[in-house]
Every structure is written in C-alpha cells, then in structure tokens.
Amino acid sequence: MSNRLVPILLTLTLTPFLQAFTVGDEKPAAEKIPLRSVKNESFKRGEVLRFRLHYGIIDAGTAEVSVMEENKILHDRNTFHVVGIGKSIGAFDPFFKVRDRYESYIDEEAIAPVVFIRRVDEGGFKINQEQVYDHDTQKVMSNGKYFDIPAYTQDMISAFYYARTLDMSNAKVGDEFSLKSFIDNEIWELKIKFIGRETIKTDVGKVRCLKFRPIVQKGRVFKKSEDLNVWISDDKNHIPVRAQADVLIGSVKMDLTSYSNLANPLSLE
C-alpha cells in the first residue's frame, strides 16, 4: 500500500513547532491578497467519521477523521483542528503494519490550511512532515524549505474539507471539479468527475449518494487513471460514504461505519 493511499481514500506539542517555524522570514513571492470567505454548511467542530478499510476480502484497517472541539487562534484567525488516524488491523497488521496520523489546522473562514503535520509509519516506511502555509504571500514552508504555491493551495486533509463545501446541487453527469494540493513538495491538481447519483447500502443504512471518479495518477498506485470511485452523501454534509479502487496489487475498499455530530441530517432512505 502506498503512503498516499489512505489520505486519497478518504481524498491525518504544536506550540513549540509554531514558535520555531513562522512564515515570513523571507521576502514574499507575491503581493498580499485578501483572504477569501467560504460559505461552510458542511461540517462543524465535534464531527467524527469512522471507516473500515478492506484489502480484497480482508479487513485491513480502520480510519477515523475528527474535527476537534478546540478553536486554536493562528495568525489572529480562528481555525478548525482536524485529526486523521489510520491503522492496520487483524491479520493484515503483522504483514503490513500501518500507524498514520495526519493533522491540519484549517482557517475557519477561508477553508485553507495554516499548519499541516504528517506522521506516517507504513511497513517500516516513515514520513515526518510539517508544513506552514501563508496564503497572503502564497508560500508554504515544508520541513524548513520554502515553496511558492498558487492561492489557496490545500494540504492532503484540508482538500477534503474544502471539497465538501462545494455546491453540488446543480451538478450534471460529466461535470469536473478541481483544486490544487501540495503533496510531497509538489503542486498536484486534483480533479474529480461527477458520475451520477446512487443509493448504496452501508453499515449506517441506505444512503443517497453522489458518485465521483477522481482522476488519479496511473502507474504508481492505480492501474488506470480512473480506477478510483468515491460516493459522498447527497446532502449538505457531503461526507464520504464509500471509496473503492483497483490498485496495482489488488483492490481496496473503504466504507463508512459510524458518524457523530454532523452539521446536517444524513440523507438516509
């Protein structure tokens, strides 16, 4: 399993870090821009989403993504603190042990990342990454190095939350949505294509969903560029309900198993 797979399927002592890494020590790459205001009716503090991951017929792991109750003020602005945790379970655990933790502090009004922390341990492969974003100057500092970024570039976690705020009410089959994300010190343009509406049976009941097909990079994880399908709830929450992918060494499926503190009622039948 790739170190990108868990965050894709979901699109997981900070004060000393912030004191040591503060964007602004270098000259800005661009003039300051006023931060945008994004209408957010999709999530709120206290929301928790839990998922089970299957690798073929094996229960391979669990994932939990939480919007913490706290409101940490960063750069004089309110933030959402999102924590994502993924781990392997059962028979899969001794074979390929996964212990991943992702954190994102997201500007509450702009729905754009301020701080991103990534701690990956997958089968002995480890990543320790810290990023600080400055959307005024369009820069990000990643592990001490500065990079220029387009306005409102997302991290791996905030991209998911920003996408949830998009208005899908008038989406037509074939419509594409895109956003830019900073992954492994590169700018990635993430594109998703609207496939249609489906009602699917899940552990939480029958859920009316919007089906999307992210256009992913083939060859590294996926056999083809359209091997990943995602179902999100057809309501204002836009929570992921299912993700299914054919990968180079099998198939992976992620299902919603429980949820709490949603901002809106879930679209159950």
| β-pair partners for 29 | none
Given a contact cutoff of 8 angstroms between Cβ atoms, the answer to whether 29 and 138 are in contact is yes
Separation between Cα atoms, residue 54 and residue 105, nearest integer Å: 29
Separation between Cα atoms, residue 144 and residue 142, nearest integer Å: 5
| pLDDT of residue 9 exceeding 70 | no
User: For residue range 181-231, what is the model confidence (pLDDT) as tens digits?
Assistant: 999 999 988 888 999 999 999 999 999 999 999 875 544 444 555 578 999
Given a contact cutoff of 8 angstroms between Cβ atoms, the answer to whether 54 and 60 are in contact is yes
| pLDDT of residue 174 exceeding 70 | yes
User: For residue range 11-52, what is the model confidence (pLDDT) as tens digits?
Assistant: 322 323 333 333 333 334 445 567 899 999 999 999 999 999
pLDDT of residue 33: 63
Please count the helices (runs of H) and the strands (runs of E) in the chain.
Answer: 4, 14
